Structure 1
Amino acid sequence: MVTFFEASLDTISVHHVGNQSQGEMYSLSDEPLELKDEVIPALLLQYFLKPFEKANEVYHLMHSSGDLFLNEVYNFTTKVFEDQQKFQEASDQLAKHLYSVSTHPNIKGGEFYVTYFKQVQIEGDLLDAIGIFKSENKETYLKVYPDQGGFAVDYEQEAININKLDKGVLIFNIEKDNGYKVVVVDKVTGGQDAAVYWKDEFLQLRIRNDSFNQTTNTLGVYKNFVTQKLDEEFDMSKADKIDLLNRSMKYFKEKETFDLDEFAEEVISNPEAITSFKNFKTQYEEEFDSPIADSFEISGNAVKKQARVYKSVLKLDKNFHIYIHGDKDLIEKGFDDGKAMNYYKVYFKEEA
């Protein structure tokens, strides 16, 4: 999704933003950071950009009122894209804006970086991008070095691990009228109540409704339907539920395009369950204001991501786990009156 082989770090300003509910303040630098050698920019590129290589979701900046110009991050970044001489001023304003939303007691203070990158690639386009980052977690590092014919050990506290970016966002200079193309990293700390401030309060994002998002949402809605809703209307064993999940994953892996009616007939089959699923899908769309098209191109990356959380394991007390990957007709459930226990009978040809 995002690559930085040709990217360069043009400008960077560093500030410190505390938590105002804890009585902490913010501290602003007077001017951009001067990078005196080639090592530091290379390390910063790795620290800031490498986490975005696995970012699949693309967002847009937005405002709850519908007026995009009321989004502070949109306003400040637009000024920089239009006139890079306003970079330092905009970085100050961004730091103040982050401080204004840092009110939850569990939000950690930390260094706040605003950067201007050139030649960052997203979806095949080489673009300028503004990066905004915050480091909240620090670590202690040991340093071993030669000393008087042997070695000595020292340490450095409150250091930053360049392989662990806490929070970051890249705002690309494209699709301005839609709120730009935006990708985000948000390592959750301090609990969910504290976590929402980065995406929801500071940035104010809405996810782009593309094939990745459509695929993710459809698989997620279907999984919730099978695991939560079916029990209310149908008498189903866990093995049957796992079979329904496996069949849906098989459909998404084999097809290039999703079609709601085709999916319902091939995967769900039962007319009453099909009607229930379509109603469940409609309720989701209304509740989360996230429409899902009846037909869309399937995203392979989204399928791979969802496959990790699709469970095909039948857990039996604490003694056995049965992994069901194929034909559910090869497994039978029964009840043993003598032992007063349930049992499963499994058919197979060879033992691996």
Structure 2
Amino acid sequence: MFFHQDATFQNLSIHHVGNKSNDEFYILSENPIDLNGDEILPDLLMQYFMKPFAKVTEVYRFFHPNEELELNEVYHFSKKFFSGAIDFHEFSAQVTKHLYEVSDHPKIKGGEVYVVALNNVQMEGEDHAAVGIFKSENKEAYLKVYPEQGGFQLNYEQEAININKLDKGVVIVNTEQEEGYKVLVVDQTNQSEAVYWKDNFLQLKSRNDAFQQTGNIMKVYKNFVNEKLDEVFELETADKIDLLNRSMNYFKTKETFDSAEFEEEVIANPQAASLFNDYKQAFEDEFDMPFQANFVIATPAVKKMASSYKSVIKLDKNFHIYVHGKREYLEQGYDEDKGMNYYKLYYENEAQS
């Protein structure tokens, strides 16, 4: 997990980057911003830059298609800054110029680039130094009401920034340098051209650790049950929910994932297990994300996936059946007289409302 509550600003530089394909330019400031003596602005900036990362759980690493990390520009300059080979303002200028070079889609918006150096960010239980790179693309109009003799006066700010709406950001944590650092990313823009931030500017890949392994195997199994099994087996909705509930129970009660054990205890069908392995292999091939046969189950990843594991059977507009276990206590049939499907439920006690 990532926590910024104890983090402090060490440096801040602001530049502007335009759209290269539209013949716009970048503007580099001559000096960093001096925040000394200001008791309000640092807190506002910390909220603006870091609050969007509070719920970010996926951790990335820098990479380069040629498998030479030094060819990744942001990694290269981050490494030079962390090692003291360049100063902070030079680092901020270099990453801004690199951002300008990849801003070549005609729909990419220009905007301010904020680069910060941070102390005491907590990543997975340890304190580290970090750098953050943020970009504001969207401006809003704000009204300002202030008291004046005899009443109030009204004014406005036309091109202002909403500190609750960070457009793009990345935090690079100074740890595991040789593997490509630990990197957190935020991108609030949904347009297809916006992938330039993560893919072209940063060049990131998912860190294939316990969190990723746990989340991905649960996601793949859920999709397998909901999308693939019907091609071979005739499954009722209750059967699918039962398979998902059994897998959720496995991940909640086990400390480690064992593929052979999972196939035996959860899937419990050799043919279905073989289909699952094929389905899983297709995922590995498509996303270049190999699964380990055994890994430690990451509880935060299980909690994150739990909300997407549906256990509700919706019947017309009259009933919802919540299935939490014991598939044998639920029967489905067809009533010839009524011409309708039905479910029969077996239970011992009725909870008092």
TM over 0.5: yes
1:18 aligns with 2:23: no
Change in 2 beyond 3 A, CA 1:116/1:264: same
Alignment of 1:265-284 (within 5 A): 265-284=264-283
Q: Aligned pair in 2 of structure 1 residues 323, 73: CA closer, same or farther (>3 Å)?
A: same
Residue in structure 2 matched with residue 173 of structure 1 by the alignment:
174
**Greater mean alpha carbon deviation, residues 229-238 or residues 9-18:** 9-18
Partner residue, 1:189: 190
In structure 2, the residue matched to 1:94 is 95
- Tell me, yes or no, if the aligned pair for 2:312 and 2:322 is still in contact at 8 Å: yes
Structure 2 counterparts to residues 57-96 of structure 1, below 5 A = 57-83=58-84, 85-96=86-97
Query: Quick one: distance in 2 between partners of 1:316 and 1:197?
Result: 44
The residue type equivalent to 1:80 in the other structure is F
Moved more, 99-108 or 248-257: 99-108
* C-alpha spacing 1:320/1:105, structure 2 compared with 1 (3 Å): farther
Q: Is the 8 A contact 2:133 2:169 kept in 1?
A: yes
**Conservation of the 8 A alpha-carbon contact between 2:80 and 2:86:** no
Aligned-partner residue type, residue 341 of structure 2: N
- Count of aligned pairs between the two proteins: 350
Identify the residue that residue 160 of structure 1 maps to in structure 2.
Answer: 161
Letter aligned with residue 126 of structure 2: D
Greater Cα shift, 275-284 or 322-331: 322-331
Q: Deviations over 1:96-145 (max 9, x none)?
A: 21122223344332211111112222123322211111122333333332
2:330 corresponds in structure 1 to 331
Cα distance in 2 for partners of 1:350, 1:267 equals 29
After TM superposition, give the deviation of residue 218 of structure 1 in Å.
0.7
SS at match of 1:11: strand
Identity %: 58
Moved more, 268-277 or 235-244: 268-277
Aligned residue identity for 1:281: K
The alignment partner of 1:262 has SS state of helix
Q: For 2:78, what is the secondary structure of its paired residue?
A: helix
In 2, Cα distance between the equivalents of 1:320 and 1:151?
A: 56
Q: For residues 1-352 of structure 1, what are the structure 2 equivalents within 5 Å?
A: 1-36=1-36, 37-83=38-84, 85-190=86-191, 193-348=192-347, 349-350=349-350, 352=353
Superposed CA deviations along residues 238-274 of structure 1, whole A, max 9, x for unmatched, are 1111111111111111111111122222211122112
> Deviations for 1:293-343, whole angstroms, at most 9, x for unmatched residues?
111111111011111211122233455433222223333222233454433
How far, CA to CA, are the matches of 1:147 and 1:115 in structure 2? 38
Q: Secondary structure at the match of 1:143?
A: strand
Q: Which amino acid aligns with 1:214?
A: Q
Unaligned runs of 5+ in 1: none
Cα deviation, residue 85, structure 1: 5.0
TM (norm. structure 2) is: 0.91
**Helix, strand or coil at the partner of 1:54:** coil
Inter-partner Cα distance in structure 1 for 2:73 and 2:285: 28
CA distance in 2, matches of 1:138, 1:67: 38
SS state at 2:54 partner: helix
Deviations 1:173-215 (A, max 9, x none): 222221122122222332xx22321111110112211110010
Distance 1:314 1:138, change over 3 A: farther
Match for 1:101: what amino acid?
V
With 28-37 and 147-156 compared, the bigger mean Cα shift is at: 147-156
| Distance in 1 separating the partners of 2:190 and 2:53 | 19
Letter in 1 for 2:35: L
Structure 2 distance, partners of 1:320, 1:23, is 60
Whole-angstrom distance in 2 between the partners of 1:226 and 1:327: 18
The 1:342–1:303 alpha-carbon spacing in structure 2 relative to 1, beyond 3 Å, is same
2-structure distance, mates of 1:258, 1:212: 12
Question: In 1, Cα distance between the equivalents of 2:194 and 2:137?
Answer: 12
Specify the SS of the correspondent of 1:170: strand
Distance 1:338 1:139, change over 3 A: farther
Shift of 1:217: 0.7
* Pair 223,42 (structure 1): closer, same or farther in 2 beyond 3 Å: same
Question: For residues 344 and 105 of structure 2, what CA distance do their matches in structure 1 show?
Answer: 53
Deviation at 1:9, TM superposition (A): 0.9
Q: Retained in 1: the 8 A contact 2:313–2:321?
A: yes
Q: Distance in 2 between matches of 1:158 and 1:309?
A: 39
Question: What one-letter code is carried by the residue in structure 1 that aligns with 2:125?
Answer: G
> What is the alpha-carbon distance in structure 2 between the residues aligned to residue 195 and residue 321 of structure 1?
40
Structure 1: which 4+ aligned runs deviate by more than 4 Å?
Answer: none
Deviation, 1:221, is 0.9
Q: 224-233 or 273-282, which moves further after superposition?
A: 273-282
Distance 1:328 1:60, change over 3 A: same
